[in-house]
Structure formats: C-alpha cells, structure tokens
Chains A and B, each alone.
Chain A
Amino acid sequence: MTAAELILQKALVGSNLDSSQWNQIQAGFRNRAFFSSRVAEVNILAAMRDKVREYAEGGKDLSKIRMEFREELKRLKYDPKGAKGIHDLFSQARIDVIIKTNVAQARGYMQYAEGMSPGAFAAFPAQEFTRIAHRRNQRADWPQRWAKAGGKTYGGKMIALKDDPVWERLSVFGNPFPPFDWGSGMGVLDVDRKTAIRLGLVTDEELRGKTAALREKPLPDFNRDMQASVPNLRRDSLCGKILKREFEDQVTIEDSVVHWQGNLMQDLIAGKRKKVKLGAGYNGESLSLSHQFFVEHGSKHLDPNEPYEHLTKQDFELLPCLWRRPDRVLPTRDPNRSQLELDTFDGWSIVMVVDRRNGIKSIQKRKSPGGSTI
C-alpha cells in the first residue's frame, strides 16, 4: 500500500472541533479520520483529501496543488467569514499544514510499520530521534521534551527501542511515528541490533522474544475497526452526545466502549458490511443503505436524456453528508419522493432520490447546475 492509498482509506469526518479539541480525541480515531480543524463541510474535506493524495503520489508540486485547491474552494463557495491566516482555508499556511501533515503522517506510519516487521525489527530494533529535514524555525526544546517523555540519551544521542512508549509520549499527535509535532523536521534513524545490545537497551534473548511476538501478532491494519473504552460513557451522556455529534455514524457506543467503524461507506461498497444505517438526516429520519443496493441500483439513471455519470468510490463517501446536509432539496412529481443534491469539488452534483416509504430510489451524478441552496 502507498501513502496515497492510505490517505484515501481515511473516513471523511466533518466537524467544528478546533485543533485543541481534536487533540483530545484518541490518536487511533484521529489517524483513521480525514479531518481539518473547524471544517464541517464534507465536500471540502473530500477536495482536500484528493489534493493530499495527489501530493503523496509525488506527481505535482505544492504550488500547483495549492492553486488547484483554491479553485475548488471557490467552486464550493467556501467563505472564510473574515477568518485570517491559518484559520482561512485559502491561506498558504493552512493549505501547507493540511497537505504536509497528512502526507507526513501517512509516510511516518508506513516507515514505522515496515520497521516493525519481524525481520526489520530483529535487525534494527531501536531508533535515534534526530533532525531529518531542515526547518526555518526549529524548535529548541526537543531534548527537554525527550527527557520529559521518559527518554534516555546515549553519548548525547536520543535513542530508544522502537516499541518503547517514549515515542507516543513525545508526539503531540500521540503516535509512535513522525511527525512528532506540527511541521516538525525531526524524525528517526534506525539503530542496528549490535548497537542496541551494546547500549543495554535490550538483550539478545529479549530481542528474540520481541521478534517472536511480532511474528505471532503483527502490527494491526491501519484501517482496522478499533475501539476505545471510556469509563462510565453512556450514549446519552454529554460526552457520548458530543462523540455522536462530531463523528456521526462513524462511531457506535456500546457498554462504555466507543467503536470506530473503519470507513463505513468504502466497507459497504466493498461488501465488507451488508448494511449501514445513517442517523437523522435532513428531515430528521434515518436511512438504511445496503450493499445490495449499490450492486443493483447504484448506477440506475433517473432520466436517460440527462447527462448522468456513474459515481466513483469517493462520491459514495459523500452520501452521509448528502443525507444530512444537502445543498438542495427539490420536489418530484411523486409527493412521497424528494430529490437531494450535493455539489462536489470537481464541478458535479450528486443527486439522490429518496422515497419516504421505502428509502433510496436512485443515486447519480451530473454536471452541477448551481442554483440556490437550502
């Protein structure tokens, strides 16, 4: 898997949480979500994720990506509402943070996962925390942060085993892999087996045990379903309500345990899930989506004379947002049916016709007609 593919797997989570609030969400959940501080519009997030993917693939320079992203924001009628600097999505500072942080995290995770394979870990069980890339404004307090996180130094070098909890404690994101802070050029260089043993970080026997454990239980899949226990968490408690409000169908709460549900829509389309129930929509009602529906009706057209296109996987991921916050709700000839429309960043609209009695009738996309929003 490439970093670009890893980024595409992340579920789009639109939310008004700011960065400090996001930092309070468990790292495992954050890593599985594609989000940006105070961005609730999922179609903007879809545009962002697409640009991050393009940068991760390495085919375009950052300047071109920034220009294209600004064009897409204009198309989606993004309004910064007076926000300045990093709070304005048009700004270079904000776009760079979004793109560079997401790509760096995906690459950091990939290097970490590769380094934790049994063979790589056995040969290089430790790593040195050091500057990998130059930054104009470099943080000077890394040695103090290293010591505060419980790290030890060896001949002035900050070294620890790869599975040492110091890495997670060092990271503002709570991850055991770089980047360890926003825009940071600090990273890791592997330390070989002989050196790790000589420094007393691990014995040969311990290393054999750790390698055997990795053989038995390899690093879990990045996009696996995960869960986190929250003591005394009830679905109807304030914390539970906030979690449900921000993550919507992406999480379920059962017996004080929050379950992250992979990437709901991608799993549904791939047939890994047979059914998904979307919570309260634009009309306050819930909606069931089945894998069978995508197989049978996903590409059925409303009107053969209109220039409809088939939906891509990325389009399908916008369905929960279309259900909750459509750009337009239009009446149809049948009073029981409504036509919901959501504009996408690439100049199309996703059009879904819903019947009050028996759910979705059709989903297509067509060239965006523009027009007023509800």
Chain B
Amino acid sequence: MRLTIKIPPEQLRDVLPSRRELAQAAGQGVANIVKRRLVERDRRGRTDGLPRTGYYGDAASGITTEMSGKTALITIHKEGVALHYYGGVVYPTDGHKALAIPKVAAVAGKRPAEADPDRSKFALVWPKGKTAGTLRDKKTDEVVYLLVPKATIKADPAILPTEAEMAEAGMSAMEAIL
C-alpha cells in the first residue's frame, strides 16, 4: 500500500520544521494509528477457544518507521499479518502433505514435530476418501491437531485502519508541528 500526502507549498514557507521533520511526524502519526488498531484487536481476544497469544499486540510492537529522505515507510514485522489483511490460501511446504491446526492448548504455537519429536504420543487418523485427518493423543484419543490439505484465510482489512484514516492521522501529526 502506498499513501501520498500532499503538502501545500505555502504551508512549508517560513516554518521551522524541515520537510524531513514533517515526514517524521506524519510517519509517526500513521504508525501510531496502526499500532492502536492492532492493540485494540489484541484486547478483543480470539474466537476459536484456544489460549490468547498476544499475536496482534506483538505485531504492534513490531511496527517500524523507516525514513528515506522525506518519505516514511511503515512496516509491521510479524509473520502472517499480510495474510490476515489480504486473505489467501495456505498450502503445506517443506514436503509436508497437510497443515496441522492445533486443537488443544498444550500444543498451541507448536508444530507436531516439536510437540511429539519421537512420534510416540500422537496417532495419525486419516479415513480413506476424507479430505481432512487428525492427530490424536494415543492415551486419551483426544484430537490434538486437525490435518488439512490447505487453509483459506478470509481477508480482514479491519485489522488495519483505512487509507483515509491513515492519511488523516499523518496530516494531523504534521499540522501539530506547523
């Protein structure tokens, strides 16, 4: 996404902040509104019953504003944020045949290979002709992971402010120092 904020030349005349400082203020204003939105999302919790991980809050802590001349580039350094924003289909990689979706708190945030490194705890159950399988706890028969050939993530543009909101935040920040 690229956002251009035009500054009327008369506003730049005879004022103290340089173009670079105006860009710093605008960049910080946009970064702030993005950060607040991610923090709000983190506070909402999740709907799948798994424990909260602070994912969006950690994404908020991973926002950086990089200055290049009078341009500010804002980046969210967190795996998966772009996928949630734009949506998409996730396929297994590294030669795996399925994606493993954790279904119990004990394995949340862990790949099956980490949760059961010697493959002694979980049993693979994949009925013939079915598109999904499970990894079950050998002792309790509880479903620990759901195995699917792909996962579709719906686009959720509400995780970030709209372009208009970001432009307004940038403009307000510049106006504050003019």
A contacts, CB < 8 Å to B: 2-3, 56-64, 66-67, 104, 107-108, 110-111, 114-115, 117-120, 122-124, 130-136, 178, 185, 187, 189-190, 192-194
Say what secondary structure dominates the interface of chain B.
helix
* Residue from the list A62, A63, A178 in contact with B61, Cβ < 8 A: A178
Q: Using a CB-CB cutoff of 8 Å, which residues 1-36 of chain B contact chain A?
A: 17-18, 20-25, 27-29, 31-32, 35-36
* Residue from the list A58, A66, A114, A119 in contact with B177, Cβ < 8 A: A119
A63: B residues at CB distance < 8 A: 109-111, 114
Nearest B residue to A66 via CB reads: B114
Given contacts A107-B77, A134-B43, A192-B176, contact A124 B32 (CB under 8 A): yes
B24 touches A118 (CB 8 A): yes
* Residue from the list A120, A122, A130, A192 in contact with B27, Cβ < 8 A: A120
B52 touches A134 (CB 8 A): yes
A133 touches B58 (CB 8 A): yes
B65 at the interface (CB under 8 A from A): yes
B25 touches A120 (CB 8 A): yes
B54 touches A135 (CB 8 A): yes
Report A237 CB to chain B, min CB distance, Å: 41
B114: A residues at CB distance < 8 A: 63, 66-67
Given contacts A111-B63, A133-B42, A189-B39, contact A122 B21 (CB under 8 A): yes
A119 touches B25 (CB 8 A): yes
Given contacts A133-B54, A134-B42, contact A108 B61 (CB under 8 A): yes
B22: A residues at CB distance < 8 A: 119
The 9 closest A-B pairs by CB, nearest first: A133-B57, A119-B24, A119-B21, A133-B54, A120-B28, A123-B25, A119-B25, A134-B54, A122-B177
A111: B residues at CB distance < 8 A: 61, 63-64
